[in-house]
């Protein structure tokens, strides 16, 4: 049988809560301490490539500029440019408060969301996520907190980050509204979500998967071997990305992003670069031509074995 070398479809948009969101998201976890002028340059660059889904969290800035500082810096930008707010789909996360470390109780998630709104200088966020599962709060109580936030108008939709499939299902059992978003770690190097049911569940439940660390902390762009990684295995993956990058006359990071975009779950990679030029260049991922054999070749290089 002749191999099917048809190019995989990569769309630029997908639906979320009745709106259209770009297939790239801009992540603000490194935004803390950034002057508002530079924040504006980065958000403008993101919007220029259709990345209107903006991801942040209460914890971003902790250990550096300070807890909540990434939201505060983004809030300064919104304060200066309030007209831009309606162009954005704003996602934030709560539930991590060192040294607890996690608390998803009704009172805590409510207070976390309200504090985020003040820092962000907005009256609502589009999606509020529980950042990590709190093993000491029952799913029924966490669901009650999320439901109340939606009922209050402070939040349009809710979701989870770093949840297993069973944890996600358990939370959904107690919710009278559908979860909208799930955020797993996912890249051509960290492929666990492909096999643990996360993306399968996202498709059946209608969840938008936002992939954090889609370039493996930048390693897939720089080629620097991640700490503790198998150097030969990682080198094989970089080689495969480079092969396809050369064929497409593009960068390996665009190929790595395209690999995620080509998956049928409609993954939205969260890019976190602090360079406006690199934000704009990430849009090259939409122009990558990749067929089924190319896609599996990247996965096989990452796993270090052929598919059975």
pLDDT digits (tens, 9 = 90+) for 192-247: 999 999 999 999 999 999 999 999 999 999 999 999 999 999 999 999 999 999 99
DSSP bridge partners of 13: 22
**DSSP per-residue letters across 125-161:** EEEEEESS--TTS-HHHHHHHHHHHHHHTSEEEEEEE
Domain membership of residue 275 (yes or no) is no
What is the domain range of residue 25?
13-183
**Residue 64 and residue 32 in contact, taking contact as beta carbons nearer than 8 Å:** yes
- When divided into structural domains, the chain yields a total of 1
- Please report which helix (H) or strand (E) contains residue 19, including its range: strand 19-22
CATH number at residue 41: 3.20.20.100
The pLDDT assigned to 3 comes to 59
The length of the chain, given as a count of residues = 308
Domain membership of residue 217 (yes or no) is no
pLDDT, one tens digit per residue, over 97-138 is 999 999 999 999 999 999 999 999 999 999 999 999 999 999
Domain membership of residue 84 (yes or no) is yes
Q: Give the CA distances from residue 122 to residues 56, 72, 109, 130, 207, in Å, rounded to whole numbers and listed in that order.
A: 14, 11, 17, 19, 25
**259 alpha-carbon distance from chain centroid:** 15
Domain membership of residue 243 (yes or no) is no
The pLDDT-based confidence of 2 (bands split at 50, 70, 90) is low
Q: Per the residue annotation, which of 60, 102, 163, 296 is the catalytic one?
A: 60
| Residue 102 known to be catalytic | no
The pLDDT assigned to 63 comes to 83
Domain membership of residue 40 (yes or no) is yes
Longest Cα separation, the chain = 61
Domain membership of residue 170 (yes or no) is yes
Torsion angle defined by CA atoms of residues 111, 114, 116 and 117, in that order, rounded to the nearest 10 degrees? 180
Domain membership of residue 146 (yes or no) is yes
* CA 105 – CA 136 distance, rounded (Å): 9
Is residue 4's pLDDT more than 90? Answer: no
pLDDT, one tens digit per residue, over 37-55 is 999 999 999 999 999 999 9
Domain membership of residue 127 (yes or no) is yes
Cα Rg, the chain, nearest whole Å: 19
* CA 41 – CA 5 distance, rounded (Å): 39
């Amino acid at each position: 049988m002749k191999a099917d070398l048809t190019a995989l479809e990569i769309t630029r948009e997908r639906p979320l809560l009745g709106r259209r969101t770009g297939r790239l998201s801009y992540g603000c976890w490194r935004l803390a301490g950034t002057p508002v002028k530079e924040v504006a340059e980065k958000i403008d660059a993101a919007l220029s490539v259709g990345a209107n889904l903006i991801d942040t969290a209460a914890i971003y800035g902790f250990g550096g500029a300070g807890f909540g500082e990434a939201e505060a810096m983004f809030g300064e930008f919104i304060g200066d440019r309030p007209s831009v707010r309606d162009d954005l789909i704003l996602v934030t996360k709560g539930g991590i408060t060192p040294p607890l470390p996690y608390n998803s109780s009704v009172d805590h998630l409510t207070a976390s969301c309200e504090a985020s709104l003040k820092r962000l200088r907005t009256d609502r966020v589009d999606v509020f996520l529980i950042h990590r599962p709190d093993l000491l709060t029952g799913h029924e109580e966490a669901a009650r907190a999320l439901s109340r936030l939606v009922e209050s108008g402070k939040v349009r939709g809710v979701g989870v980050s770093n949840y297993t499939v069973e944890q996600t299902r358990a939370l959904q059992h107690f919710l009278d509204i559908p979860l909208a978003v799930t955020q797993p770690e996912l890249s051509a190097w960290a492929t666990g979500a492909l096999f643990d049911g996360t993306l399968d569940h996202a498709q059946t439940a209608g969840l938008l998967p936002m992939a954090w660390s889609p370039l493996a902390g930048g390693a897939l762009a720089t080629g620097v071997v991640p700490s503790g990684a198998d150097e030969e295995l990682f080198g094989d993956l970089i080689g495969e990305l480079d092969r396809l990058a050369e064929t497409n006359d593009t960068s390996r990071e665009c190929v790595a992003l395209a690999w995620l975009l080509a998956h049928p779950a409609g993954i939205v990679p969260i890019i976190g670069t602090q360079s406006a030029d690199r934000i704009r260049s990430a849009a090259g991922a939409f122009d990558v031509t990749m067929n089924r054999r190319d896609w599996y070749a990247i996965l096989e290089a990452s796993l270090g074995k052929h598919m059975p």
